[in-house]
Structure 1
Amino acid sequence: MNDLSALAGRLQVEVLLRDGRIEAVETRLQRPLVQISRLLVGQAPEQALARLPLLFALCAGAQQVAAVRALEQAAGWQPMAEVEGGRTRLSELELLRESLLRLVRDWQLPLPAERLKSLLGLCQRGIALLQPLCAMGAAPLASDGRLADILGELAECWSTLVLPSPDDWLQPRLQRWREVALGGSLPAVFEPADIPPLLERLRAGESEASIAGEPRITGPAAFADGGAPAAMQIAQRVAALLRRAEQAAIGQPVRPPVAEDLLAEEGVGLAQTARGWLLHRVRLSAGRVAVWQFLAPTDWNFHADGLLRRQLLGVQVAEEECEALLRELILSADPCVAFEVRIAHA
């Protein structure tokens, strides 16, 4: 393969429908994480970091931030607080950019085109200024005021936005799902306290996104009332995406936890994305990458026994509405890969 960017995943969701009732749900997430890991193993840390943007089309900045945190921890390097703060800001700007694109494209957020262009442009300028901090052992940026000006303009641009509530602009689209009751309780939310038991499994070579055999959820997918009708849950997730974008725009970054009690030459890095927590784990040997593992929000939110299966199993829905409902639920959990839906009729 000579085009590293061609590495991509795919999500397939198939349900068995009998007399308007969903009797089976199969979620198949195909992600070439093993192949990507092989491209990084054996590389010097700097070489591996240079490859990452070629391997991930989405959340490339967050991938670099999580990766450099893991590599520096494995190498025993303690970054300066200003550097870590700048890395968090980079991932927040990327989160804002990708959230806005999702909200406008997938959910028709009524954001004027010129305002969207301004916000995206400010995000891009800030990301470009912060990019040098993704290097191993990076030094703090020069205090020339450019970043402060961009962040101030971004916060002001956002503060003058006048947007309707998600209920208002989503109501016509979601009206048809107001009476559809979803089944099952939501999986637990992925929390920093889950990292130690997760590390034990990763060290053993297991890469499934679960804790003690149980799936988790992260990002906007976690912000819904599991007992609410489908329309309300979808609206709650979209509203959470918008709230998180606002938090990033006005300068309230979410600092990631730091993994502790690690093995020699082991590092774990986390970063926030528009979809939730991203985790990288690395092991170094003789100054080169010996092990590299990834867990992205999509791995958590689309676990085979996770969110979709638990909510859809047993749901009553008209045959002509089933595929549309599945697509809306999948979009509200925001996979980072292309997806397709299949309906099998019993």
Structure 2
Amino acid sequence: MIGTILLRGGQAGQPWQVQTHNVVDAGLLCAGLPPEQALALIGRVFGLCRVAHMAASARAMGLAGHAMPDHARMQDEILQDHALALLVTLPAQLSLPPQRESLCRVLQDRQAGRAIAGELTGTNVSLAHMNAQAFEAWLATGQTENGAFLPRLLNCCRSALQGVGAAVGMAGLTPQAVQARLAHERGQPVPAMAYDASIWPDYAHYPVMQALAEAGEVTPFARLVARLLEFLACLEGHVGGMFARVNPFLASLGAGFGVARAARGILVHAVQVRNGLVTDYQILSPTFWHMAEGGLFRQAISRLRPGCAKLSVECVLAALNPCVPVTVEATHHA
């Protein structure tokens, strides 16, 4: 998705409202171009998740030389997205010292990934496989200034998110949902858009996530922990399962479709080419699904407690991780 999001309201008991502005359909920009030029255009207009977009685009258009996705570059892109949020952006918002030196090490010294992960978490034990008691014990190590950085960060996030609401549980995105949405473009009834296209379905089965889920609802804090787990998986090179998520989509959707795993979840490009020119180009990004009526982002914001502090809203946004800038207007600093 290309555009901006504005959050308004949240005062005097009034619900939050979501508005979109300057939305551009990048697929329309590709119409009438040869596939090679369309691919180059996709690479220029998408700054975030650029590698994933180009991989999905090339596969959808069947371009020679792009048949195999470059998982190493995708992993780098995903790692960078989560690292920037966890080590610089969120700390600055929470009045913690940004970890710029650690960020540089994460991005430049991949051979030291496991050691860096241990330094940042303060443990060599897998967070994903912790039960509720073990995870609470790990969080407790971050309650002092001498604790490792990531448990300190997560403690601050949990405090900021206490009682804010915005929990949403919905089914993960499926190939069938993608096909139904594209069929609507050909004049059929509007399908449901309430699917979770984020990274959450890749981590929902882990013990720590099952401990954090609340009666089938996924809290913003749980979604932040999912980002943490993915950051650590990329840092330590354990990403096979993450990229395997696209396989059912590729098997079901067939020619004319490209699917990639991006930092925000599942990304789909659907392209029709006739006589050497693109005649139809559709991009179904995670934010496309989540910003639809009844989508994950809109549902989460509709359940966000009115009057909560701007800091809490920023933590919710970090958990939802939309791919466009979000402006928060007229909030109380509770």
Q: So what's the TM-score if we normalise by structure 1?
A: 0.69
Question: Runs of 5+ in structure 1 lacking a partner?
Answer: 1-6, 123-150
**8 Å contact from structure 1 (residues 184, 311) kept in 2:** yes
SS in 1 for 2:70: helix
CA distance in structure 2 between the aligned counterparts of 1:28 and 1:238, rounded to whole angstroms: 24
CA distance in structure 2 between the aligned counterparts of 1:157 and 1:205, rounded to whole angstroms: 53
SS in 1 for 2:257: strand
In the alignment, does 2:175 pair up with 1:175?
no
Q: 1:319-345: CA deviations, max 9, x gaps? A: 3x3444333212211122111123499
Number of the residue aligned with 1:133: none
Q: CA deviation at 1:286?
A: 0.6
**Paired amino acid for 1:71:** M
**Structure 2 CA distance for partners of 1:32 and 1:315, relative to 1, 3 Å:** closer
Q: How does 1:86-165 map to 2 (within 5 A)?
A: 86-108=69-91, 113-121=100-108, 153=111, 155-156=113-114, 158=116, 160-164=118-122, 165=139
Q: 1:272-325: CA deviations, max 9, x gaps? A: 1111111111000011111111121222233343334434546655x3x34443
CA distance in structure 2 between the aligned counterparts of 1:115 and 1:63, rounded to whole angstroms: 28
Number of the residue aligned with 1:276: 265
CA distance in structure 1 between the aligned counterparts of 2:47 and 2:234, rounded to whole angstroms: 21
**Structure 2 CA distance for partners of 1:294 and 1:8, relative to 1, 3 Å:** closer
Number of the residue aligned with 1:329: 316
In the alignment, does 2:32 pair up with 1:48?
no
Number of the residue aligned with 2:126: none
**8 Å contact from structure 2 (residues 291, 298) kept in 1:** no
CA RMSD between the two structures: 3.6
Q: How does 1:1-346 map to 2 (within 5 A)?
A: 8-15=2-9, 17-18=11-12, 21-22=13-14, 24-30=15-21, 32-34=23-25, 36-72=26-62, 84=68, 86-108=69-91, 113-121=100-108, 153=111, 155-156=113-114, 158=116, 160-164=118-122, 165=139, 167-178=151-162, 180=163, 182=165, 185-204=168-187, 212-220=191-199, 227=214, 233-249=219-235, 250-253=237-240, 254-255=243-244, 256-257=246-247, 258-259=249-250, 267-313=256-302, 316-317=305-306, 319=307, 321-343=308-330
**8 Å contact from structure 2 (residues 257, 268) kept in 1:** yes
CA distance in structure 1 between the aligned counterparts of 2:102 and 2:51, rounded to whole angstroms: 23
**8 Å contact from structure 2 (residues 82, 231) kept in 1:** yes
SS in 2 for 1:9: strand
SS in 2 for 1:187: coil
Q: 1:252-289: CA deviations, max 9, x gaps? A: 231312445669xx511111111111111100001111
**8 Å contact from structure 1 (residues 71, 282) kept in 2:** yes
CA distance in structure 2 between the aligned counterparts of 1:233 and 1:105, rounded to whole angstroms: 22
CA distance in structure 2 between the aligned counterparts of 1:25 and 1:111, rounded to whole angstroms: 30
CA distance in structure 2 between the aligned counterparts of 1:262 and 1:277, rounded to whole angstroms: 14
**Paired amino acid for 2:267:** L
**Structure 2 CA distance for partners of 1:47 and 1:177, relative to 1, 3 Å:** closer
Aligned pairs, how many?
288
**8 Å contact from structure 1 (residues 220, 333) kept in 2:** no
CA distance in structure 2 between the aligned counterparts of 1:100 and 1:327, rounded to whole angstroms: 17
**Structure 2 CA distance for partners of 1:176 and 1:37, relative to 1, 3 Å:** closer
SS in 1 for 2:256: strand
**8 Å contact from structure 2 (residues 89, 98) kept in 1:** no
SS in 1 for 2:219: helix
Q: 1:139-182: CA deviations, max 9, x gaps? A: xxxxxxxxxxxx6x26555565442555542323542542x162
**Paired amino acid for 2:268:** L
**Structure 2 CA distance for partners of 1:49 and 1:326, relative to 1, 3 Å:** same
Q: So what's the TM-score if we normalise by structure 2?
A: 0.71
**8 Å contact from structure 1 (residues 66, 279) kept in 2:** yes
Q: 1:165-208: CA deviations, max 9, x gaps? A: 55542323542542x162674333223443332332244499xx
CA distance in structure 2 between the aligned counterparts of 1:44 and 1:204, rounded to whole angstroms: 26
CA distance in structure 1 between the aligned counterparts of 2:154 and 2:22, rounded to whole angstroms: 31
